[in-house]
Amino acid sequence: MRKFVSHILLIFVISILKDVLCKKQNLDTKANDEKIVGGYVADIKDVPYQARLTIVTDSGAYGCGGSIISQRYVLTAAHCLARAKTVYVRVGSNYADREGALYSATKFWQHPNYNNKTIDNDVGIVSPSIPIQFDTNTKAIKLASKGRNIPAGTEALVSGWGLTSENGKGSDRIMAIRVPTVSNEDCRKSYSLITDNMICAGVPEGGKSTCQGDSGGPALTKYGQIGVVSFGIGCARPGYPGVYARVSSTNIRNWIQNITGI
């Protein structure tokens, strides 16, 4: 009888452990909200404006990217902040969850015209509770000016900690890719709802793109930061470039200036 009871208890414990592990696996998958496919291992010294955001909600936590635009503000995607209660901002680190400096923030904003169905105006701003301290590994990025035209084919540097393949694993180390911008006219052949507040980047043959975990991260060109990682179909699929919120659009640039003065 004791052996029978012990056996039942063992089965019960194993079932609980399985449930916990499954929930943890689901949370880990959710936490990597968008990463780099077809890229290379980068160094934070080369992308010192890159930030890693951990967004805490009522039901758990997940990760996004961001860019430091001043000691007081970090630019990210509006959809990253949809359910946020608290945001933790890690800067100056090659890694997603250690080293560098960590700041907490309870002040953050989504663009007032953000549309969660069309993903238009997908930008948000986070303000850490204390100013970010700058050093060799931590610096502000320059934003593209309002109305700046970005010619198709302009090379963009995109970085983050997202998945390294569709349905794959995330990278603990920061990754980067260089991809050319695509005209909105060409991008509409893949996505019908491309607006003037969006810009696309990628290669026609696929193989290079952002993925789950990179959302909110920057796309940097010689004109400054032109994009905020927003969405795409799959990861690095042929014919489907990545879509970014267009920083230089009047609608977005005016809002950033109103909030930050930048």
Expressed in angstroms, the distance from the first to the final Cα of the chain is 74
Q: Is 215 annotated in the active site?
A: yes
- By the 8 A CB rule, do 96 and 28 touch? no
Distance CA 130, CA 101 (A): 12
Rounded to the nearest integer, the mean pLDDT of the chain is 84
Give residue-wise pLDDT tens across range 125-163.
999 999 999 999 999 999 999 999 999 999 999 999 865
Report H helices in the chain.
2-31, 184-187, 250-260
Q: Which one has a higher pLDDT value, 1 or 245? A: 245
At 234, is the pLDDT very low, low, confident or very high (cuts 50, 70, 90)?
A: low
Nearest Cα neighbor of 244 from 145, 119, 62 is: 119
Q: What is the pLDDT of residue 243?
A: 95
The one catalytic residue among 93, 111, 120, 122 = 122
Please check the confidence at residue 6 and state whether its pLDDT lies above 90: no
Q: Is 79 annotated in the active site?
A: yes
The one catalytic residue among 33, 79, 93, 209 = 79
Give residue-wise pLDDT tens across range 39-98.
789 999 999 999 999 999 999 999 999 999 999 999 999 999 999 999 999 999 999 999
Distance CA 208, CA 213 (A): 15
What domains can you pick out in the chain, each with its CATH number?
48-140 (2.40.10.10), 155-248 (2.40.10.10)
Q: What is the pLDDT of residue 11?
A: 38
At 31, is the pLDDT very low, low, confident or very high (cuts 50, 70, 90)?
A: very low
Q: Are strands 40-41 and 175-182 parallel, antiparallel or unpaired?
A: antiparallel
Q: What are phi and psi of 186, to 5 degrees?
A: -70, -35
Residue 2: C-alpha distances to residues 5, 9, 12, 15 (Å): 5, 10, 15, 20
Q: Which one has a higher pLDDT value, 68 or 35? A: 68
* Average pLDDT rounded to a whole number, residues 240-254: 97
Q: Is 129 annotated in the active site?
A: no
Distance CA 71, CA 61 (A): 24
Contacts of 219 (CB under 8 A, 6+ apart): 156, 157, 158, 199, 201, 225, 226, 227, 228, 229, 244
Distance CA 239, CA 162 (A): 20
Q: What is the pLDDT of residue 232?
A: 82
